[in-house]
């Protein structure tokens, strides 16, 4: 909702101010389709040259993510702590081997089944299962610091891959003003070919050319640059789920008491999504 409010404010202030100053929209409306085709089309083509198809799709999928907002809510973070906590309780009470059924077949695991939204996210499931699989294989004899390093490297790689989408949107924002100049220059070339026309005709042609520069700058700094910034914020926030998993598994392997493990997991979550200590503690005790 906030995305559309912001978009309305941007367009309303720019074009509303133009109209209030006595400007007429007709020349902009007339020139915008062709100028926009040149600018946006060449921007998309440039990204196809500079990116793999996966990154290209992820970047434009990032626009949808900006509209929807972050994927995880406070309830999801609570559920994640409970999910990992229950798996770790199985390890404590029944031994590491008892985890095997859960980590090798999460689709049929009763614990994963309690949290369908989390279980549907392959990255979260892999982070949990791949790490706990090491615990099963090693029969619980793992160096906690080594596990911590391995998890943090995996988290870093995942975050780096996600940020490629943000970088692509930022690249589009950076290219649009220059591509707007390209469209403007082409408009000037067209104008020079009609130099023998009367001033009103030349004025219309020059105005149409300048629309290219306007659109490039406007779309870059009014739309794509804010989108890139917002996508970066969303990626950072959504990445907190992996830090929660890391804190819980590593803290448990180090033998920390449950309250400290809980507080470590809560501490890596933004305050607006942070579940209360009581909710987590009660949930892990089955209340």
Domain boundaries, the chain: 1-287
Cβ contacts of 273 within 8 Å, gap of 6 or more = 72, 73, 74, 77, 237, 240
Task: Give how far Cα 136 sits from Cα of 27, 92, 96, 146, Å.
Answer: 69, 12, 5, 15
**Nearest one of 70, 3, 83 to 272, comparing CA atoms:** 70
- Spatial separation of the C-alpha atoms in residues 64 and 26, rounded to whole Å: 31
Task: Please state, as a whole number, how many other Cβ atoms lie within 10 Å of the Cβ of residue 198.
Answer: 8
How far out from the chain centre does Cα 220 lie?
Answer: 19
If DSSP codes are grouped into helix, strand and coil, which group holds residue 270? coil
Do residues 172 and 129 touch, judged by C-beta distance below 8 A?
no
- Spatial separation of the C-alpha atoms in residues 99 and 136, rounded to whole Å: 7
Local mean pLDDT, 10-residue blocks, the chain (287 residues): 91 94 91 92 94 94 94 95 93 86 91 95 94 84 89 95 96 95 92 85 87 94 96 96 96 91 93 91 74
Residue with tokens 């391995």: 150
If DSSP codes are grouped into helix, strand and coil, which group holds residue 158? helix
- pTM score, whole prediction: 0.89
**Nearest one of 136, 109, 87 to 249, comparing CA atoms:** 87
**Nearest one of 271, 174, 248 to 217, comparing CA atoms:** 174
How far out from the chain centre does Cα 199 lie?
Answer: 50
Residue 140: predicted pLDDT: 60
**Nearest one of 134, 163, 169 to 250, comparing CA atoms:** 134
- Spatial separation of the C-alpha atoms in residues 188 and 208, rounded to whole Å: 9
Residue 282: predicted pLDDT: 82
Q: Is 115 left (phi over 0), alpha (psi -120 to 50) or beta?
A: beta
Write phi, then psi, for 121 (nearest 5 degrees).
Answer: -90, 110
**Nearest one of 146, 158, 160, 144 to 256, comparing CA atoms:** 144
């Amino acid at each position: 909702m906030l995305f559309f409010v912001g978009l309305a404010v941007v367009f309303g202030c720019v074009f509303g101010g133009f109209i209030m100053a006595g400007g007429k929209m007709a020349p902009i409306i007339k020139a915008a389709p062709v100028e926009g085709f040149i600018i946006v089309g060449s921007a998309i083509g440039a990204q196809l040259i500079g990116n793999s198809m996966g990154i290209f799709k992820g970047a434009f999928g990032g626009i949808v993510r900006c509209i929807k907002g972050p994927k995880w809510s406070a309830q999801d973070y609570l559920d994640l702590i409970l999910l990992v906590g229950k798996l770790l309780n199985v390890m404590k009470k029944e031994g590491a081997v008892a985890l095997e059924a859960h980590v090798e077949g999460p689709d049929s695991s009763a614990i994963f089944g309690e949290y369908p939204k989390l279980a549907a996210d392959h990255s979260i499931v892999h982070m949990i299962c791949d790490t706990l699989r090491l615990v099963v294989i090693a029969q619980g004899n793992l160096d906690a610091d080594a596990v911590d390093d391995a998890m943090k490297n995996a988290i870093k790689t995942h975050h780096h891959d996600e940020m490629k989408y943000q970088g692509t949107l930022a690249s589009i924002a950076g290219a649009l003003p220059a591509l707007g100049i390209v469209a403007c220059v082409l408009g000037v070339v067209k104008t020079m070919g009609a130099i023998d026309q009367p001033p009103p005709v030349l004025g219309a042609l020059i105005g149409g050319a300048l629309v290219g520069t306007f659109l490039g700058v406007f779309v870059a700094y009014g739309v794509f640059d804010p989108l890139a910034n917002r996508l970066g914020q969303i990626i950072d926030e959504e990445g907190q789920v992996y830090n929660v998993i890391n804190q819980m598994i590593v803290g448990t392997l180090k033998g920390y008491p449950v309250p400290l493990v809980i507080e470590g997991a809560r501490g890596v979550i933004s305050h607006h999504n942070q579940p209360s200590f009581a909710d987590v503690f009660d949930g892990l005790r089955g209340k």
